[in-house]
């Protein structure tokens, strides 16, 4: 997701991408919904990396593996959240780019019609 966000950032900066402003709100809404779901998971983050004392030997190894997995999951959740926020920023920039291009085109038509 982070790589996709970087690709969108480059496309926006080079003006190779612009997004219809009507679609931006829908995309931002969906990204916010994703972040809300991540927040629900994050609130239970302690449970993800809980070091359970379930006995010795093989059970101890499973508990360690579960703790390691949980810690990695927490990092991934945080990374995804940052990537979503970055993507939202790039989408907003794209909206601004679209608006600027649209206004420039409108100004050009005004000049052609002698109304500037």
pLDDT at 99: 65
With respect to residue 111, please indicate whether it lies within any of the assigned structural domains. no
CA 31/CA 37 separation, integer angstroms: 10
Nearest to 5 by CA among 67, 98, 62, 83: 83
What is the full per-residue pLDDT of the chain (116 aa) written as tens digits?
667 666 666 766 776 666 666 778 888 999 999 999 999 988 887 777 777 777 778 888 888 888 888 888 889 999 999 999 998 988 888 787 766 655 655 555 555 656 55
pLDDT at 64: 84
With respect to residue 99, please indicate whether it lies within any of the assigned structural domains. no
With respect to residue 3, please indicate whether it lies within any of the assigned structural domains. no
Number of domains in the chain: 1
CA 19/CA 87 separation, integer angstroms: 13
pLDDT at 43: 85
> Which residues span the domain enclosing 33?
22-94
pLDDT at 85: 93
pLDDT at 4: 64
Q: Which residue has the tokens 């995309």?
A: 27
With respect to residue 113, please indicate whether it lies within any of the assigned structural domains. no
pLDDT at 84: 93
With respect to residue 42, please indicate whether it lies within any of the assigned structural domains. yes
CA 19/CA 62 separation, integer angstroms: 48
């Amino acid at each position: 997701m982070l790589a996709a966000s970087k690709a969108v950032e480059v496309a926006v900066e080079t003006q190779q991408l612009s997004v219809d402003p009507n679609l931006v709100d829908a995309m931002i809404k969906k990204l916010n919904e994703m972040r809300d779901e991540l927040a629900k998971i994050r609130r239970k983050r302690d449970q993800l990396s809980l070091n359970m004392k379930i006995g010795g030997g093989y059970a101890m190894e499973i508990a360690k593996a579960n703790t390691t997995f949980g810690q990695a999951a927490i990092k991934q959740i945080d990374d995804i959240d940052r990537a979503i926020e970055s993507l939202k920023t790039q989408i907003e920039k794209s909206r601004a780019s679209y608006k600027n291009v649209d206004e420039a085109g409108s100004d050009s038509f005004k000049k052609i019609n002698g109304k500037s």
